[in-house]
Structure 1
Amino acid sequence: MSFRGPTILLFVGFLGCVHAQLKLGFYDSSCPRAEKVILEFVEEHIPNAPTVAASLLRMHFHDCFVRGCDGSVLINSTSANQAEKAATPNQTLRGFDFIDRLKSAVEEECPGIVSCADILALAARDAVGVIGGPFWRVPTGRRDGSISNSSEALSEIPAPTSNLSSLKTAFANKGLNDADLVLLSGAHTIGVAHCESFSDRLYNFTGTGDQDPSLDGFYAANLKKNKCRDATDETTLVEMDPGSFRTFDVGYYRNLLKRRGLFESDAALTTEAAAKAAIVNLVDSPPQTFFAGFAMSMEKMGSIGVQTGSSGEIRRNCAVVNS
């Protein structure tokens, strides 16, 4: 699968196929207002905390990349098990309380019917829509998994230090192609990142106290002066898409072409001519090109490894497996 521009353009006006085991409007009979309850909750709360949209989108991605989209990222650790939440990639996830409150609202409407996995998938879509991002179809019918393991999260979720080869392999292992990689990386157009996730690029790239030469020098100097002032900073947050981190647009891709992606995994997308050409195509095309492509890839990602039918369970509490 190549990154060639036409591959991206083919997404325009085409929203893809619904996963055979999921169904649009799955709850129309069992809980007719389920999706409306979720949308209304998101519309009420996201405007007051717009960065949570990025948090929910990231949580959905991390959920789907480990055992499929089964809500396993929501499960708390116990004395006998370190859950996905405990893994390094998930320790900076935010929004768990948001999902818990949303689950309570849905449970009040129709107890024991709607899975946490579906609630997360729908909330991520609706939150992105509230901040002006693209709409994508979310077929439902996912059931919740009961296994959540920190070691699996550590091995399955692409690291911010990943090179292009590692990224392509990680996505291919989930049934996602190279075009999906470019498009889904565009989620970094919203949200923030902790300095510690990329500080090696500023202070110790090869272990000798050097700076990553692939990072724009002016941008790196600004980060050192105004944001990540030393290599040990674990708390400061940096905008993923400076200037428009609350706006869903192609600003992230523009920054990549200026060598201003925060993560090594961001910069990796410009290390191959075909991938870089796809990014240039997205920047030069109408915004709808990115929106339609992102929608297609999100729908595809949302069907990874789903449990349906008699598999899994409907968790009463998203953080705890049913006893």
Structure 2
Amino acid sequence: MPFVIKYFQINLIKSSILSSSSPTNGQLSSTFYNNTCPKALSIVRAAVKQALAKEKRMGASLVRLHFHDCFVNGRDGSILLDDSANITGEKSAGPNNNSVRGFDVIDTIKTQLEAACTGIVSCADILAIAARDSVVELGGPTWRVQLGRRDSRNASLRGANSQIPAPTSNLSALISSFSNKGLSTKDMIALSGAHTIGQARCTTFKGHIYNETNINSTFATSVKANCPSTGGDNNLSPLDVQTATVFDNKYYINLKSQKGLLHSYQELFNGGSADSQVTTYSNKRNTFFRDFAAAMVNMGNISPLTGTNGEVRKNCRKPN
């Protein structure tokens, strides 16, 4: 009897290992492509590294693509779809129009992956891997990306306009937006730390620097130099004025000094329930890194298409 049990356990383990890398399996796994496309992770990593060598800001852009995709119908690569006769894409939505970028980098990665292993690696997974590698390349934490997602055949302009948190959101609205996606308040505050890299357009923070009081006056004056009260809507300012291309915890330190560039940022440290966690992250970078990595995994698990649902697009901009 002990032999039978041991034999059963061994075969159960073997079955689990095989299914974790099987394209037909419905569960996400960090080893999903080990057998079917063993070079997948190294191909993405090299392409991201090359893109960031040309422009470090691209790292923040790739992380943002990942976030904006996850929040609309889950992690399914829908943000990458171009408009067509049959599809109204998400690129023209308010939170994305003239704002999200990095599509050419994803195209490059997809072309290289198709050459290495045709029809295997989904665009949705490319987004998740590229976001992780961007964070690492800019000095942030790493994590095991769960893989095995498939791509949607459609997009949701309405979802992109309604489900992505607005830069004018208050703390309650932010908590609700993330809760609606199955993410905790802790996840929300940790994920907000991604804004330690990148830049924002003047139109997204103009109201905060000109009309609100929960902002450091010296900081507001310095930002106004590049964001006039009239015009200049597309002028850019760094989200973190200290280290805009380094993934660190300066974002939270800035919030404690009322130097949050957007209204929604400063809401995290404005006498509310998020203050304590912001203080912790401002003092303990490693704690922030740990929680951010965990939250990125959680966000990547929002309603993925797996198994036989969806498809693996050959071109990330259009269905097969």
Asked if 2 retains the 8 angstrom alpha-carbon contact of 1:191 and 1:239, the reply is yes
Corresponding residue of 2:112: 105
Is it true that 1:303 corresponds to 2:301 in the alignment? yes
Of residues 125, 136, 149, the one that matches 2:132 is: 125
SS of 1:238's partner is strand
Aligned to 2:241, the other structure's residue is in SS state coil
Say whether 1:154 aligns with 2:161. Answer: yes
The 8 Å contact of residues 68 and 164 in structure 2, kept in 1 or not, is answered as yes
Q: Which amino acid in the other structure matches residue 308 of structure 1?
A: T
**Match of residue 45 from structure 1:** 51
User: Percent of counterpart pairs with the same letter?
Assistant: 43
> In 1, Cα distance between the equivalents of 2:52 and 2:218?
34
Residue 320 (structure 1) aligns with: 318
Distance 1:167 1:233 in 2: 27
Give the match for residue 29 of structure 1: 35
> 8 Å contact 2:189–2:274 — kept in the other structure?
yes
CA distance in 2, matches of 1:87, 1:80: 17
**Aligned AA (1:282):** Y
Q: Tell me if structure 2 keeps the 8 A contact 1:47–1:130.
A: no
Distance 2:303 2:124 in 1: 12
Whether the 8 Å contact between 2:205 and 2:262 is mirrored in structure 1 is yes
Offset at residue 321 of structure 1 (A): 1.2
For the Cα contact (< 8 Å) 2:51–2:105, is it kept in 1? Answer: no
Q: Partners in 2 of 1:159 and 1:217 — Cα distance?
A: 23
Q: How do 1:1-323 residues align onto structure 2 when only pairs under 5 Å count? A: 21-91=27-97, 92-203=99-210, 211-224=211-224, 226-285=225-284, 287-322=285-320
Equivalent pair of 1:164/1:271 in contact (CA under 8 Å): no
* Residue identity in the other structure for 2:276: A
CA contact (8 A) 1:171 1:177 kept: yes
Task: Note the aligned Cα RMSD (angstroms).
Answer: 1.4
CA contact 2:51–2:58 (8 Å) conserved in 1: no
Distance in 1, Cα, partners of 2:65 & 2:51 = 17
User: Residue type of the partner of 1:257?
Assistant: K
Structure 1 pair 174–264 and aligned structure 2 pair: CA distance change class (3 A): same
Deviation (angstroms), 1:243: 1.7
3-state secondary structure, aligned to 1:168: helix
Is the partner of 2:100 in helix, strand or coil?
coil
Give the number of aligned pairs. Answer: 295
Any idea what the Cα deviations from partners look like across 1:116-149, whole Å, max 9, x if unmatched? 0001100110111111111011010000011212
* Structure label with greater radius of gyration: 2
Distance in structure 1 (CA, Å) of the matches to 2:153 and 2:51: 29
Q: Tell me what 2:10 maps to.
A: none
Q: Quote how far apart the aligned CAs of 1:272 are.
A: 4.3
Q: Runs in 1 of length 4+ with deviation above 4 angstroms?
A: none
Is 271-280 or 156-165 further displaced after alignment?
A: 271-280
User: Aligned AA for 1:220?
Assistant: A
Structure 2 length normalisation: TM-score? 0.89
SS at match of 1:193: strand
2:238 partner amino acid: E
User: 1:243 is aligned with what amino acid?
Assistant: Q
Aligned residue identity for 1:248: F
* Cα drift, residue 65 of structure 1: 0.3
Give the distance between the partners of 1:89 and 1:273, measured in 2 at CA.
Answer: 26
Offset of residue 47 of structure 1: 2.1
Higher relative contact order (CA 8 A, sep 6+): 1
Partners of 1:79 and 1:223 lie apart in 2 by 42
Residues 47 and 131, structure 1, Cα contact 8 Å, conserved in 2? no
| Deviation of 1:80 (Å) | 4.6
Unmatched tracts of structure 2, length 5 or more:
1-19, 21-25
